[in-house]
């Protein structure tokens, strides 16, 4: 097992105030024990990327692999074969990758803001291009020649309609067959199905060609450091778990707010919407990390069992507990924004939601009676993904003239992006001769403490796949559990039910989302607070 979930503790925090790593330090995403022992390199492997000429590969996968080179985690026998149908050759592809890489490193916050030529050349000379159609057996014969008998990871960075055909062709071409000491793995990107039935059908299809242990279903949220940190925070510290329950927690808010609109993805988004795009996958991952029971170990299956269990305990969604919205024209940071219906490839009378809020209840011993409020949307006030744990109020106020309801609520916010860290909000006595309470915040900031350069979030995921650690990937039942939660809404909306509430671009969502919480005497944390 690798990285944060391995919970290999450094003693960095013993001496509070001393930063464990300095900018530009080699092996920045290894912990110190690993740095001392030397990195655990992945076994030799060919990474075959279907969609190797595409956006995802250029913007995220190649920079992630480059970072793995820098961390010394790749074996000499590592290589990349990019498969795509564009009429280019290996030299042109390497050139394209290099241009994107230079842009990527230019955005670094850390000192080393230039491409490391040695690392880049190590990687670049291992990249080759294979031109071919994903549905043509000839492509797979050529691929077989490139791969030989060694380990292979087949990464499907392609539109979802190609997932099943590619896997079928890989099997037909004998490329999925594993032999003693040699692996064949397939990484499947999102969207994994469009509803519960199609997700089940895709699982069946993949499982007819592959073993479950060969399938790595990606949810890129699990590549985010702060998402992985939720488990570390909960299960490696003594003081959180004892209060992590219905006796102490009033409710939990999960927010994934974006300022971007649908950009050029109107056609995709029209048939997807905010619910399918974000909730069964990303939001359910966040929810299960926060709400799951402690696994018996950090083995992939132990963690994934607990995630499925907590999702299975969610009450069936009631229509009154879900709000959907769509952005109209408005402005964000002084810039005018068009409404969703004016976006390219979007119907002028579209009823697709760009915002969704819901209240979920979890039917288990730990969480009975604790609402989980969720909201996600596009073209909102600000970009922010966070989980806010609202603790119950102190039972009574010791301080004269401070009614309980005036005490600062105790909130612990797990900030996932754009800033990454943990904030605690509580009451403290204000300085001065009279006793007055004020709200204060204590903050742990990832960037300040660890001084990391930018990562894409895919480093851990790719490395884990190379070494065969599936903890951060979804099993078939995890995917289906996520879809089961939202399926009642998918059904209701496809039948035309469900009011659509409009909100101007640049707001925190429609009023109906506020009413969802007001009904329970609560309110959302401010988005731009």
Query: Minimum CB separation from ligand BG6 for residue 220, in Å?
Result: 6
Q: Which is nearer to ligand BG6, 280 or 506 (CB)?
A: 280
d(CA 119, CA 104): 14
Kindly state the smallest distance separating residue 234's Cβ from ligand BG6, in Å: 22
Of the candidate residues 108, 190, 200, 366, the single one contacting ligand BG6 (CB under 6 A): 190
The β-bridge relationship of strands 437-445 and 249-257 is unpaired
Which residues, including other chains, have CB under 8 Å from residue 23's CB and lie 6 or more apart? 110, 111, 112, 451, 453
Strand partners, 47: 80, 153
The Cα 356–Cα 358 span in angstroms is: 7
Please report whether residue 59 would count as binding ligand BG6 according to CB under 6 A: no
Maximum Cα interatomic distance, the chain, rounded to a whole number of Å: 83
Tell me whether residue 235 or residue 446 sits nearer to ligand BG6 (CB atom).
Answer: 446
Q: Is-contact 501 221, C-beta < 8 A?
A: no
Q: Which of 251, 282, 390, 501 is catalytic?
A: 282
Our CA dihedral for 2, 8, 10, 13, rounded to 10 degrees, sits at 110
| In the complex, minimum distance from the CB of residue 354 to ligand BG6, in angstroms, rounded to a whole number | 10
Q: Is 385 in the site for ligand BG6 (CB under 6 A)?
A: yes
Work out whether 258 is an interface residue with ligand BG6 (CB under 6 A). Answer: yes
CB atoms near residue 494 (< 10 Å):
10
C-beta of 260: minimal distance to ligand BG6 in Å?
Answer: 6
277 is a contact residue toward ligand BG6 (CB under 6 A): yes
The tokens describing 491, both together, are 């059904």
Which token pair is 295? 């696994």
Task: State the CB neighbour count (10 A cutoff) for residue 491.
Answer: 12
Q: In what order do the strands lie in the sheet with 249-257?
A: 437-445, 421-429, 411-417, 384-391, 249-257, 371-377, 355-361, 322-328, 500-504
Interface with ligand BG6 in residues 197-236 (CB under 6 A): 220
- Decide whether 220 or 251 has the Cβ nearer to ligand BG6: 220
CB of residue 383 to ligand BG6, shortest distance in Å:
8
The least CB distance from residue 338 to ligand BG6, in Å, is 17
Q: Which two tokens mark 140?
A: 């797979």
Bond into 418 cis (ω within 30): yes
Q: Enter the tokens of residue 452.
A: 């990391």
Q: How far is residue 321's CA from residue 276's CA, in Å, rounded to a whole number? A: 17
User: Rounded CA gap, 475 and 20, in Å?
Assistant: 35
**390: annotated active-site residue:** no
* Shorter beta-carbon distance to ligand BG6: residue 108 or 383: 383
Distance in angstroms (rounded) separating the CA atoms of residues 504 and 83? 42
In the complex with ligand BG6, which residue's Cβ is closer, 69 or 218?
218
Q: Does 189 bind ligand BG6 (CB under 6 A)?
A: no
For ligand BG6, the closer CB: 209 or 354? 354
- Among 447, 384, 395, smallest CA distance to 109 is for 447
Please count the residues of this chain forming the interface with ligand BG6, following the rule CB under 6 A.
5
Please state the closest distance from residue 98 (CB atom) to ligand BG6, in A: 25
The nearest distance, CB 461 to ligand BG6, in angstroms, is 13
Tokens of 251: 């409710």
Nearer to ligand BG6, 277 or 477 (CB): 277
Cα(230)–Cα(191) distance, integer angstroms: 24
Report the residue number, 220 or 501, with the smaller CB distance to ligand BG6. Answer: 220
Note the residues at the interface with ligand BG6 (CB under 6 A). 190, 220, 258, 277, 385
Residues designated as active site? 282
């Amino acid at each position: 097992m690798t990285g944060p979930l391995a919970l290999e503790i450094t003693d960095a925090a013993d001496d509070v105030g001393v930063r464990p790593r300095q900018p530009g330090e080699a092996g920045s995403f290894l912990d110190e024990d690993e740095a001392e022992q030397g990195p655990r390199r992945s076994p030799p492997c060919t990474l075959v990327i279907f969609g190797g000429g595409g956006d995802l590969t250029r913007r995220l996968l190649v920079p992630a692999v480059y970072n793995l080179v820098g961390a010394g985690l790749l074996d000499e026998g590592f290589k990349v074969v990019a498969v795509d149908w564009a009429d280019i050759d290996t030299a042109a592809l390497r050139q394209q990758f290099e241009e994107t890489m230079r842009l990527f490193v230019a955005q670094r916050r850390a000192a080393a803001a230039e491409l490391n030529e040695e690392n880049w050349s190590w990687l670049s000379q291992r990249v080759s291009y294979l031109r071919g159609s994903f549905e043509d057996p000839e492509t797979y014969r050529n691929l077989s020649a490139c791969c030989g008998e060694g380990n292979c990871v087949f990464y499907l960075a392609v539109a979802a309609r190609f997932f099943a055909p590619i896997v079928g062709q890989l099997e037909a071409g004998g490329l999925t067959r594993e032999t003693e000491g040699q692996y064949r793995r397939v990484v499947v990107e999102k969207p994994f199905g469009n509803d519960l039935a199609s997700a089940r059908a895709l699982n069946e299809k993949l499982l007819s060609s592959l073993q479950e242990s060969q399938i790595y279903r990606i949810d890129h949220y699990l590549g985010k450091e702060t998402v992985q940190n939720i488990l570390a925070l909960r299960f490696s510290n003594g003081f959180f778990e004892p209060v992590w329950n219905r006796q102490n927690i009033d409710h939990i808010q999960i927010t994934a707010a974006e300022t971007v609109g649908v950009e050029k993805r109107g056609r995709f988004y029209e048939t997807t919407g905010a619910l399918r795009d974000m909730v069964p996958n990303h939001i359910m991952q966040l929810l299960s990390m926060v709400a799951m029971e402690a696994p018996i170990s950090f083995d992939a299956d132990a963690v994934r069992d607990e995630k499925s269990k907590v999702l299975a305990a969610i009450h069936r969604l009631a229509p009154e507990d879900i709000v959907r919205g769509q952005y109209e024209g408005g402005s964000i940071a002084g810039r005018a924004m068009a409404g969703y219906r004016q976006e390219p490839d979007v119907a002028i009378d579209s009823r697709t939601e760009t915002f969704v809020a819901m209240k979920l209840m979890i039917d288990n011993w730990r969480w009975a009676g604790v609402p989980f409020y969720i909201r996600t949307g596009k073209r909102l006030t600000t970009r922010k993904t966070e989980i806010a744990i609202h603790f119950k109020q102190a039972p009574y106020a010791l301080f004269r003239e401070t009614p309980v309801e005036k005490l600062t609520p105790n909130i612990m916010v797990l900030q996932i992006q754009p800033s990454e860290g943990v904030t605690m909000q509580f009451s403290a006595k204000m300085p001065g001769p009279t006793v007055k309470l004020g709200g204060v915040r204590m903050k742990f900031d990832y960037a300040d403490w660890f001084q990391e350069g930018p990562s894409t979030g895919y480093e851990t995921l790719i490395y884990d796949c190379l070494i065969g650690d599936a903890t951060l990937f979804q099993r078939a039942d995890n995917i289906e559990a996520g879809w089961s939660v939202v399926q009642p809404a998918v059904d209701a909306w496809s039948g035309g039910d469900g009011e659509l509430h409009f909100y101007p671009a640049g707001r925190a969502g429609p009023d109906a989302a506020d009413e969802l919480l007001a009904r329970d005497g609560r309110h959302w944390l401010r988005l731009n607070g």
